């Protein structure tokens, strides 16, 4: 009986010291604001731009959005994130450092929708 108890104790200690691996950290909760219900482009300063490009959009106040200028190969060249504070917003983006060419300006909302606007940079 003594041997059984000593083996049991050794087994319990060994199992208790066994490393089960890293514990996953708690997932960080990110607030994306109010769900986007409205997202459309009202106007732009044209497809051809030398430096500043202005886009006017209808959006949902309190929702988060992102404007990304992307190359045809999918590379993101410029990104601008914002939280809508009005139902219609006019945003000016500076593209003076972007190389001449044709690009897509992607407007994305916090529900996963995407709108593409063509942009041609010519300095």
96, 123 contact by CB (below 8 A): yes
- The tally of domains found in the chain comes to 1
CATH of the domain at 49: 2.60.40.1930
**Percent share of the chain, pLDDT over 70:** 81
Q: Which domain holds residue 108?
A: 39-121
Q: Is residue 98 part of a domain?
A: yes
pLDDT tens digit string along 61-92? 999 999 999 998 889 999 999 999 999 999 99
Q: Is residue 69 part of a domain?
A: yes
Q: What CA–CA distance (Å, rounded) separates 102 from 81? A: 22
Q: Is residue 11 part of a domain?
A: no
Q: Is residue 34 part of a domain?
A: no
pLDDT at 18: 60
The winner for highest mean pLDDT among 25-29, 39-43, 63-67 is: 63-67
Q: What CA–CA distance (Å, rounded) separates 10 from 16? A: 10
Q: Is residue 6 part of a domain?
A: no
């Amino acid at each position: 009986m003594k041997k059984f108890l000593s083996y049991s104790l050794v087994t319990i200690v060994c199992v208790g010291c066994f490393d089960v691996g890293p514990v996953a950290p708690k997932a960080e909760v990110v607030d994306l604001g109010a769900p986007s219900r409205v997202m459309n482009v009202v106007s732009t300063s044209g497809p051809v731009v030398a430096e500043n490009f202005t886009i006017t959009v209808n959006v949902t106040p309190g929702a988060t959005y992102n404007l990304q200028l992307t190359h045809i190969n999918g590379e993101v060249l410029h990104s601008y994130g914002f939280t809508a504070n009005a139902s219609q917003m006019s945003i000016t983006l500076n593209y003076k450092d972007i190389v001449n060419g044709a690009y897509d300006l992607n407007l994305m909302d916090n529900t996963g929708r995407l709108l593409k606007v063509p942009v041609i940079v010519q300095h």
